[in-house]
Amino acid sequence: MCDAARDRDLLRTLQARLALAVRSASQQVTKMDVQETTAACRDAFAELASPACIHDPYPFMRWLREHDPVHRAASGLFLLSRHADIYWALKATGDAFRGPAPGELARYFPRAATSLSLNLLASTLAMKDPPTHTRLRRLISRDFTMRQIDDLRPGIARIVAARLDGMAPALERGEAVDLHREFALALPMLVFAELFGMPQDDMFGLAAGIGAILEGLSPHASDPQLAAADAASARVKAYFGGLIQRKRTDPRHDIVSMLVGAHDDDADTLSDAELISMLWGMLLGGFATTAATIDHAVLAMLAYPEQRHWLQGDAVGVKAFVEEVLRCDAPAMFSSIPRIAQRDIELGGVVIPKKADVRVLIASGNRDPDAFADPDRFEPARFYGTSPGMSTDGKIMLSFGHGIHFCLGAQLARVQLAESLPRIQARFPTLALAEQPIREPSAFLRTFRALPVRLHAQGS
């Protein structure tokens, strides 16, 4: 059923392209540039789901920044695409923007009454405002302090080495290996299995449903996509229900045991629904995004061999490379949670009315030339020796967000990347693409279905 929706989108896009081509030909226009293809775009979210944008969304994002930076989509959603506007909106979350009030959920999620996924989303940390947000975030923050994450580093390094060892025999036989599945996705899943105190096989089973859930949460998801998401969410919810029971009777040193303990000490501190939603939210936020960034980092290594030296020196160089990968390809391209305007807000000559749902196109802000000079160029030097997430010009890289909802797992993701990339480089210096990687046709999550790699034959 998802395929049917995709086919329909594809057909619509092809029809639009065909109409344009005919018109262009009749006007003897030889160049089909981005401006023409999108001048009639009424809905940026639909355009982001088009095959052209799945292949390369950045020309469209440039057009949006230059011509429609405070875009109003057909659905009424607003989409901000300039760095300065996004940065402001993220910092103003909790103040000028808030999540939907409990009684307003139906207004912003008309399907929430019947959708488990949307209900779970409504209870996650990302949808909460202070003081509830503060209470919940501080419960979980103890496991994500910089010291805690640093303590995970040796364990992460061991998983990285083991996964690379596992890939080596096939690669050395000259075979192609899917780096996305065998490494990029496996690493964050194994790290999470440890953090959550879950058997690895259980984690691999749960992770299979994550893509469907993420697609169902997209603002333009079809009813069948939402139904598929709900089926996957029901499996996740049932699994976590059982896991919570097991941790209650046999607590260990893991995040789930800690949260169950907090819940059992005081249900006002953490309700049942909040506990399940929190675990569900971490599952959604944690893997697919990290895997996508590992994929993009490896692609950057292969595409820009002259930049590989950053991965061969000290930690400062590795950090610069990681931040530049995060900037160039934000895995979550726009914000998935509603930010509701608490008053009329004028931005760039456009009035966003009170109660409007405002989303931010993070991937576009990261490519805004007003924030990052020559933004389409891959240049780790922008982040060399800086505070993580800030460029040498003092601009914030937006992929982890900003403001009260700043990504809880940001440092965990950074450490996984920093422990991976130099080891991939050292272990497989002749790594190359075996064939073109296959993109996931998602408007929201810029990632891959497969990233087939092989080793260059020596001397060829």
- Distances in Å between the alpha carbon of 361 and those of 34, 247, 382? 18, 39, 21
Contacts of 250 (CB under 8 A, 6+ apart): none
Residue 204 and residue 306 in contact, taking contact as beta carbons nearer than 8 Å: no
- If the CB atoms of residues 24 and 148 are measured against another protein, the closer one turns out to be 148
- If the CB atoms of residues 88 and 109 are measured against another protein, the closer one turns out to be 88
Q: In whole angstroms, how close is the CB of 145 to another protein at the nearest point? A: 4
Q: How far is the C-alpha of 189 from the C-alpha of 439, rounded, in Å?
A: 20
Q: In whole angstroms, how close is the CB of 254 to another protein at the nearest point? A: 17
- Picking from 47, 202, 216, 220, the residue whose alpha carbon sits closest to that of residue 118 is 216
- If the CB atoms of residues 220 and 327 are measured against another protein, the closer one turns out to be 327
Q: How far is the C-alpha of 367 from the C-alpha of 328, rounded, in Å?
A: 7
- If the CB atoms of residues 109 and 383 are measured against another protein, the closer one turns out to be 383
SS3 state at 113: coil
Residue 247 and residue 197 in contact, taking contact as beta carbons nearer than 8 Å: yes
Centroid of chain to Cα 17: 29
Q: In whole angstroms, how close is the CB of 10 to another protein at the nearest point? A: 39
Q: How far is the C-alpha of 374 from the C-alpha of 370, rounded, in Å?
A: 9
The residue ranges that bind another protein (CB under 8 A) are: 88, 90-92, 94-96, 129-131, 133-134, 137-139, 141-142, 144-147, 387-390, 394, 396, 401-404, 406-407, 410-411
- If the CB atoms of residues 216 and 389 are measured against another protein, the closer one turns out to be 389
**DSSP string across 326-375:** HHHT-SB-S--S-EEESS-EEETTEEE-TT-EEEE-HHHHTT-TTTSSST
Q: In whole angstroms, how close is the CB of 444 to another protein at the nearest point? A: 22
- If the CB atoms of residues 331 and 409 are measured against another protein, the closer one turns out to be 409
Q: In whole angstroms, how close is the CB of 355 to another protein at the nearest point? A: 17
- Distances in Å between the alpha carbon of 271 and those of 136, 264, 275, 279? 10, 9, 6, 12
Contacts of 276 (CB under 8 A, 6+ apart): 120, 123, 237, 240, 241, 244
Q: Report the Cα–Cα distance between both ends of the chain, in Å, rounded.
A: 45
- Distances in Å between the alpha carbon of 139 and those of 108, 149, 206, 261? 28, 16, 24, 11
Q: In whole angstroms, how close is the CB of 84 to another protein at the nearest point? A: 13
Q: In whole angstroms, how close is the CB of 97 to another protein at the nearest point? A: 10
Question: Residue 342: how many CB atoms within 10 A of its CB?
Answer: 14
- If the CB atoms of residues 411 and 442 are measured against another protein, the closer one turns out to be 411
- If the CB atoms of residues 40 and 146 are measured against another protein, the closer one turns out to be 146
- If the CB atoms of residues 47 and 129 are measured against another protein, the closer one turns out to be 129
Residue 413 and residue 292 in contact, taking contact as beta carbons nearer than 8 Å: no
- If the CB atoms of residues 258 and 424 are measured against another protein, the closer one turns out to be 258
Q: In whole angstroms, how close is the CB of 309 to another protein at the nearest point? A: 24
Q: In whole angstroms, how close is the CB of 335 to another protein at the nearest point? A: 14
- If the CB atoms of residues 305 and 394 are measured against another protein, the closer one turns out to be 394
User: How many residues comprise the chain?
Assistant: 460
Q: In whole angstroms, how close is the CB of 94 to another protein at the nearest point? A: 4
- If the CB atoms of residues 229 and 345 are measured against another protein, the closer one turns out to be 345
Q: In whole angstroms, how close is the CB of 194 to another protein at the nearest point? A: 19
- Distances in Å between the alpha carbon of 224 and those of 5, 140, 283, 443? 8, 34, 22, 17
Q: How far is the C-alpha of 189 from the C-alpha of 193, rounded, in Å?
A: 6
For residue 27, what are its two tokens? 């006007």
- Distances in Å between the alpha carbon of 297 and those of 184, 186, 330, 386, 433? 10, 16, 11, 19, 13
Q: In whole angstroms, how close is the CB of 207 to another protein at the nearest point? A: 26
